[in-house]
Chain A
Amino acid sequence: GQNIDQPTEMTATEGAIVQINCTYQTSGFNGLFWYQQHAGEAPTFLSYNVLDGLEEKGRFSSFLSRSKGYSYLLLKELQMKDSASYLCAPLYNFNKFYFGSGTKLNVKP
């Protein structure tokens, strides 16, 4: 739903930086969440952007452009444990979360 688009899969090397992009429909949009999901586990919260700009949280940063319907998640100093799916989840009308299909990140030594 809500035309959420993110890459299906990405591969990066341990210690590198990777950027995962997400585009979404802007009508009714309130804010955007990023979640991490390891295989067989529930999603866990990474970040929340309401205003335009960059939010930094340790090795993870998230950027939002409300007018462009665009966000990205930036992961620095990649570790093997970062291999997981990353879910972009815009919030609409203050009561509906829609998730993208997720980007499967493979971190290689």
Chain B
Amino acid sequence: ETGVTQSPTHLIKTRGQQVTLRCSSQSGHNTVSWYQQALGQGPQFIFQYYREEENGRGNFPPRFSGLQFPNYSSELNVNALELDDSALYLCASTRGAANEQFFGPGTRLTVL
């Protein structure tokens, strides 16, 4: 158990819709990163939040956005869903930006 939780576990949406995924980090972990993992691939870095501000971003379009809250929870929002957005979405929290990451169990998103 990493102490990081994500909701929902599974989600089915249709193309063009919007989705919000949630993550609750360990207490005291002020950094959260979000990843997209397609089947058979490694996680792809979406962005990182540190003390409620975006601290780094991977090669994802602006329709992927996020929020981090003072209570160590965070959200990943994806607008205008595309079929290729179907993947496992992982959040990972750390105490500080460059330390061991603790991953949540992930949210499996299917876009039809």
Contacts and interface: CB of A to CB of B under 8 A. Distances in A.
Given A43-B43, A102-B41, A95 B104 contact: no
Interface residues of A, number: 24
Nearest to A44: B103
B56 A87 contact: no
Nearest to A46: B100
The A interface is mostly helix, strand or loop, or mixed, namely: loop
Contacts of A94: 97-98
A97 B105 contact: no
A58 interface: no
Contact of B45 (A33, A45, A87, A97): A97
Interface of A: 1, 4, 30-31, 33, 41-45, 48, 87, 89, 91, 93-102
Interface of B: 2, 33, 35, 40-45, 48, 50, 55-56, 58-59, 90, 97-98, 100-106
